[in-house]
Amino acid sequence: MSSSIVGIDIGTAQLRAVEVRNPGKTRPLVLRYHEVPLPVGAVIGGEVLEPHTVAAALKTLWSSGGFRSRQVVLGMGSQRVLARDLSVPKMSLARIRQSLSFEVQDLLPVPVADALLDFYPISESTTEHGPTVHGLLIAAVKAAVVANVSAVRLAGLTTIDVDLIPFAVSRLLVTRPGIDGVVAVIDLGASTTSVVVARQGVPQFVRIIPTGGDDVTRAVAAGLKTDVGTADLLKRRVGLLARAAADARPGSSRSTVPFDGVIAGGSGPIDTVGADIIAEVMNDQLGSVLNTLNYYTNTRPSDPVTAIVLSGGGAQMPGLREAVSKLTRLRVSAGEPLSTVALASAVDAEGLRQSGAAYTVALGLALGRAA
């Protein structure tokens, strides 16, 4: 096996990749990173719809980014991926995986034959039925995985692993840095928002919520009757600053995502209307996140979440961290994807540090595969 691995993040609008040498070491070396745009419609929600188009983009990514290794790790994290608690009789992991198709049909929205199944063990106990293994069932619609792997094969690359994107993100931001306690990693992507709760760095709970930053952009574009590019720029500039400003006022005790028409640094009525739309959509999205965290707390009252780490492109929204902190009453920080890696001398270190959040998924995928 090559000493370097490439993690590929297949997004709706772009492909991003990071090549890492010795990913199993304590401090792996980032050799190179790059991104290229994707044509509209080639990928929807992380699922490849046009394999030949994506393969051509991958070839461009490899040539323009100078990637050397042709061994890659892909990620899956769309709404057609399911993660659920599952307890099974104690046996070897190989036997557990072989038995999954008989255990989980009632949990799946598709026939077992149409799904790819895996099991992630977390803990063991002795119940009235004997020794038991508790863990997470991971199920993905087979057709979605096959399409992504097919695009990679058409590009002349070899897929050596397919990882769950929420696992890759939490591994990079919580497990590798050794963050203690029960931490929720909230990754706000373009089409989905994932929540992973890890205890002492080990994932205990995963949910994938089928909404993301693109929903905000489309709502702003429709509400202001403008193009998505302009709406996206407005989202990135205005964000939830109104909510942050309102919450900072003495006596504020609201726990929803309020909007009061006052935009910090706003430049006119369009900012005001746009911020109103952003706050309304984010109220729903953050409400789903809060419901997810409440469900975890209610089912595991002895292990309450003590801190939140934000990740993903949506985490860059102005005022979001303050809004999440106000909503959850927890300490909220931004993930630091480069804290446990070294950068090769040829890498544009400053450029990567400025855009590091965009490469979190690709880097986390690469680091999940020991060379």
- C-alpha pair distances (Å), 165 with each of 13, 179, 207, 249, 283: 17, 19, 11, 38, 24
Quote the pLDDT of residue 263. 36
Taking residue 113's Cβ as centre, other Cβ atoms within 10 Å add up to: 7
Per-residue pLDDT of the chain (371 residues; tens, 9 = 90+): 458 999 999 998 999 999 999 998 889 999 999 999 999 999 998 899 999 999 999 999 999 999 999 999 999 988 788 888 899 999 999 999 999 988 787 777 788 889 999 999 999 998 888 899 999 999 998 998 999 999 999 999 999 999 999 999 999 999 999 999 999 999 999 889 999 999 999 999 999 999 999 999 999 999 999 999 999 999 998 888 865 565 555 555 444 444 333 333 444 556 788 888 999 999 999 999 999 999 999 999 999 999 999 999 889 899 999 999 999 999 999 999 999 999 999 999 999 998 878 999 999 999 986 54
The answer to whether the beta carbons of residues 371 and 2 sit under 8 Å apart is yes
Cα(200)–Cα(283) distance, rounded to whole angstroms?
Answer: 30
The structure tokens 């504020």 sit at: 252
Tokens at 234, concatenated: 């407005």
Cα(19)–Cα(7) distance, rounded to whole angstroms?
Answer: 7
Cα(285)–Cα(350) distance, rounded to whole angstroms?
Answer: 32
Instruction: Provide the pairing of β-strand 182-188 with 307-311.
Output: parallel
Cα(165)–Cα(184) distance, rounded to whole angstroms?
Answer: 15
The answer to whether the beta carbons of residues 120 and 135 sit under 8 Å apart is yes
DSSP state of 109: S
Cα(247)–Cα(330) distance, rounded to whole angstroms?
Answer: 15
Nearest to 42 by CA among 151, 143, 188, 165: 151
Q: Which sign, positive or negative, has the C-alpha torsion 327, 328, 332, 336?
A: negative
Quote the pLDDT of residue 250. 58
Tell me the one-letter amino acid at 347: V
Quote the pLDDT of residue 102. 83
Cα(255)–Cα(327) distance, rounded to whole angstroms?
Answer: 5
Q: Which domains does the chain have, with CATH numbers?
A: 81-140 (3.30.1490.300), 177-335 (3.30.420.40)
- C-alpha pair distances (Å), 135 with each of 90, 173, 185, 208: 11, 21, 18, 17
Nearest to 166 by CA among 133, 120, 124: 120
Tokens at 37, concatenated: 């745009």
